[in-house]
Chains A and B, each alone.
Chain A
Amino acid sequence: MSHAPLSPAIYGILAEFDSPTDLVYATKAAYAAGYRKMDAYSPFPIEEASEALGFHKSRVPLIVLLGGLLGGLSGFGLQYWINVISYPLNIGGKPYNSWPAFIVPTFEMTILFAGLAGVFGMFALNGLPMPYHPLFNVDRFSAVTRDKFFLCVEAADPKFDVVDTQRFMESLKPLSISEVPH
């Protein structure tokens, strides 16, 4: 396989590392070198890697909050509607709007909606489900779910250059370097 220099056909350049520490260090170096369109891949979340990528603030917490509020209000509203408006029953002489009894289901609905909003909000923001991704064209990348750590600088980055970027990434002393075809 040979590539013409400056080929637009590649997705990016992928470097493989042995430890989270090396990955964070490499990511910081790449960020310092001016690369922005890149991503780090690891078998488990590494908070320092997100920071090193200059990770923007995620909107997931806001979606979770809105989901929780919606769940809580609808949970309480449903019970209020049933017990006060739709089918009032005298239970133990207590008021129809016996709010302390409504709190537990309200709480559960808050958690349920917040949890679902978190999962599906994350899916939506990440563009999932994504049946195809160029990174899977690199065989070695499958180790990312086991014990290897990857940094991919994408060709879409304005500073990207097949030769220069490859040389720069070699300077990070990775285990391997691969071009990622589309």
Chain B
Amino acid sequence: MSREIPQIGPADYAVPAAAAQWQKRWLIVGVVGAALCVIGAVISRDQLDQVLRGYLIAYIFWLGLSLGCLALLMVQYLSGGLWGLVLRRVFEAASKGLPLMFVLFLPILFGRHHLYAWMNDPSLTARNSWYLHTSGFGGWIARWILYFAIWGGLALILVRRGNTQDYPQPAGTWLRIQGISGLGLVLYSLTVSFAVVDWIMSLDPHWGSTIYGLIFLAGQGLSALAFGIVMLTLFTRYSPFREIIKPMQFHDIGKLMLAFVMLFAYFSFSQWLIIWAGNLPEEIGWYLDRIRGGWGVVALIIILFHFALPFALLLSRERKRAGSRLIGLAVFLMFMRVVDIYWYVVPNFAHEQGHFYLSIWYVVAPLAVGGLWLSFFFYNLRDRPLLPLYEPQIPSLLHQRSHGH
């Protein structure tokens, strides 16, 4: 048994060369998808509406992935743990996607009159939404900039701090990053809660739910953990990560994913229980629009496949300990996140209230934005070694290597 850390340099932990291929392929998907969306948007006004709705679904999901990764990055700085150490570069590269998502908000900004009824008729917000009514369009756009200033600022600080870990570090920098992470998580929770009210909940200006932000926070955490499992499984196909990353890390991330599946179900059920128990005309309509006319099947699919099935599968210890057995479920859960957002977004619009509708654009737009997001992700990821070599916990990660056979 050797307690020495092997003499290795950052070059030994370079991102596998295959990532360059992935970057290129996803860029093709993104560009082709975006071109299709542009074509769809100019065909007719009806199609433009559908493209924008698909785009909003896509935007909420992929932005959520960047934000979930940013949040887990901060959580890991506070809690420690090898599960997050092996994902740090993944989380950082996903956080670096935030500038891209800032720019990708522009179609929503310019298409707002097709999405948000209250933008055309401000009196809609007068009855029930003091928040939207007093701030109006000016407040909405100012908050968009404020959210991204906060998210971008946090990402910048954390990524810069992460970059320094490729080199030997003076002692004492640890506490400062913990302070920033603690404050950052508070800011993250507040800004995401407000952002989903601005961008999704306000699609129906008469309806409000106080747990709405929490549902999306849980969803973002779930997406980020699932994405982390996919990336970690891909990288453990290559040396030296195959030898370094142990079942223990997958086990921990799998346990967290199980917790977030339950958290999502808990928040979602709480919203339903309170509105169902109150049964007030101004609230229950939101659920009726999402149960009647075929939407009930989607709701059932979400209960079964966003909660029940993943919950049952993730109870197994063996499943959680092997990336190869988790990756399929992780991809599936990311897909179910999109389905859940689809179920939240689409029944807001007059024609789709209580009438199931699935446009091809609800599939194309998430792939288009996803292609661009993933391509940019791999571009950022390849910039740095996949492990921060001078991070204080690295010895315990490499040390477990000498135990394992």
Write the residues of chain A forming the contact surface with B, with a CB cutoff of 8 angstroms: 21, 24-25, 47-48, 61, 65, 92, 94, 100-101, 103-104
Contact = CB atoms under 8 A, between A and B. Distances in A.
B315 interface: yes
Interface string B215-248: 0000000000000000000000000000000001
B248 A100 contact: no
Given A100-B276, A103-B269, 5 more contacts: A25-B1, A48-B403, A94-B279, A100-B273, A103-B273
Interface in B299-357: 315, 317
B403 A104 contact: no
B273 A104 contact: yes
Interface residues of B, number: 13
A53 to B, nearest CB: 14
Contacts, number: 22
B158 to A, nearest CB: 30
Contacts of A104: 273
Contacts of B3: 21
B52 to A, nearest CB: 34
B315 A101 contact: no
Interface in B267-312: 269, 272-273, 276-277, 279
5 contacts: A21-B403, A25-B1, A47-B248, A100-B272, A101-B273
Interface of A is mostly: helix
B321 to A, nearest CB: 11
B161 to A, nearest CB: 30
Nearest to B269: A103
A24 B403 contact: yes
Nearest to B246: A48
Contacts of A21: 1, 3, 399, 403
Contacts of B1: 21, 25
A92 B279 contact: yes
Given A25-B1, A100-B276, A103-B273, A61 B317 contact: yes
B269 A101 contact: no
Nearest to B276: A100
Contacts of A94: 279
Pick from A21, A65, A94 the residue with the most CB of B within 10 Å: A21
B125 to A, nearest CB: 30
Nearest to B274: A100
B74 to A, nearest CB: 27
B302 to A, nearest CB: 15
B42 to A, nearest CB: 46
Interface string B361-399: 000000000000000000000000000000000000001
B83 to A, nearest CB: 14
Contacts of B317: 61
A7 to B, nearest CB: 33
A58 B325 CA distance: 21
A101 B277 contact: yes
A100 B1 CA distance: 57
A103 B248 CA distance: 34
B359 to A, nearest CB: 31
A61 B277 CA distance: 35
Contacts of A65: 315
Interface string B1-37: 1010000000000000000000000000000000000
